[in-house]
Amino acid sequence: MTSDKQINPPNEEEISVKRKKRRRRLYPLLAVLGIAIGFCATCFAVALYRPVGSGPAGPKVEREPFASVWSEEPVLLLGIGDSVTAGFGVPAAYGYVNRLADNPPDEFPEMQGVCLRKVWPKLEVKNIAVSGSTSLQHESYLNDDERFPKQPENVFGIVVMTTGGNDIIHNYGQSPPKEGAMYGASIEQATPWIENFRGRLDRMIDRITEKFPGGCMIFLADIYDPTDGVGDAPSAFLPAWPDCMKVLDAYNAVIAEAATKHPNVVLVPMHDAFLGHGIHCSQFWRKHYKAGDPTYWFYTNLEDPNIRGYDAIRRLFLNEILLKKKDAVPK
């Protein structure tokens, strides 16, 4: 059946006008979409941007105290602990233990001559730290007389130590949490392991002290936080862990307690010094953003320092040694 009305198809001019109207309505939508995509891309880039920077990192160290010898007696600089003390990720000369003892060939001008060998000419260096090790293993190393023998009575010990970090971070959520590998644990689950760490750390300190009959000072660093205090493990491409900050804070409280309990133990504030230099270092709206040096001090594995991070740790230890200079000088 055909209609009585004649249907006239639109001409080319009418089609063109309609297309132009549709395009005009579409332009604002495309503009908004473009702005939204650009904003999201910028936010994503800022979130992932982790500039390493160059040059010195960390606090200033006064040069004057290193201008004269503190003692001619033998001193052993002993490194104990995990990959931070082992110097994982950088050439040997740039790990913090070796930089405490000697300046590397390309040392920064302000740090030339600022090292322990300048003040203790008879300094020896021994590093028994092992990458990937936990505090449970550290205690066994200290009980191994071949690995760490008792020292002669005329040797004074300067002990630098990082322990406990791997207890927390292992096994990165890939296995159920347990003591020594508690990633993912609730604070209730972790509480007995934290108490065990307290006792273990006390025993380690006592054991170190026993093996230095000539006396020793133990410089014990607390544990840093690559999330800059945010606690967002997924931003570091790790499984979510709701109680991660509670566990970290509890471990650091144990370390701080050990420094107050034992007269020959000094806390090295690595945790606070590294805030603002983790995975959120470039995010200016964060609480710990460091405007003067908004750079990343961690290695590509997100858990060890990079070369500038080791410089900062070296300076932190040197400043604590300077504060305890009277106690850290062999009699």
Sign of the C-alpha dihedral computed for residues 187, 190, 194 and 196 taken in this order: positive
**pLDDT of 42:** 41
Q: Which domains does the chain have, with CATH numbers?
A: 71-323 (3.40.50.1110)
Instruction: Tell me how crowded residue 1 is: count the other CB atoms within 10 A of its CB.
Output: 2
**pLDDT of 49:** 78
Residue-level pLDDT, tens digit, the chain, 331 residues: 445 555 666 667 666 666 666 666 665 655 555 555 444 334 444 556 799 999 999 999 999 999 999 999 999 999 999 999 999 999 999 999 999 999 999 999 999 999 999 999 999 999 999 999 999 999 999 999 999 999 999 999 999 999 999 999 999 999 999 999 999 999 999 999 999 999 999 999 999 999 999 999 999 999 999 999 999 999 888 999 999 999 999 999 999 999 999 999 999 999 999 999 999 999 999 999 999 999 999 999 989 999 999 999 999 999 999 998 877 776 6
**pLDDT of 236:** 85
Instruction: Tell me how crowded residue 261 is: count the other CB atoms within 10 A of its CB.
Output: 12
**pLDDT of 9:** 64
Copy the structure tokens of residue 39.
């904003």
SS3 track for the chain = CCCCCCCCCCCHHHHHHHHHHHHHHHHHHHHHHHHHHHHHHHHHHHHHCCCCCCCCCCCCCCCHHHHCCCCCCCEEEEEEECHHHHCCCCCHHHCHHHHHHCCCCCCCHHHCCCCHHHHCCCEEEEECCCCCCCHHHHHHHHCCCCCCCCCCCCCEEEEEEECCHHHHHCCCCCCCCECCECCCCCHHHHHHHHHHHHHHHHHHHHHHHHCCCCCEEEEEECCCCCCCCCCCHHHHCCCCCCCHHHHHHHHHHHHHHHHHHCCCEEEECHHHHHCCCCCCCCCCCCCCCCCCCCCCCECCCCCCECHHHHHHHHHHHHHHHHHCCCCCCCC
Instruction: Tell me how crowded residue 215 is: count the other CB atoms within 10 A of its CB.
Output: 17
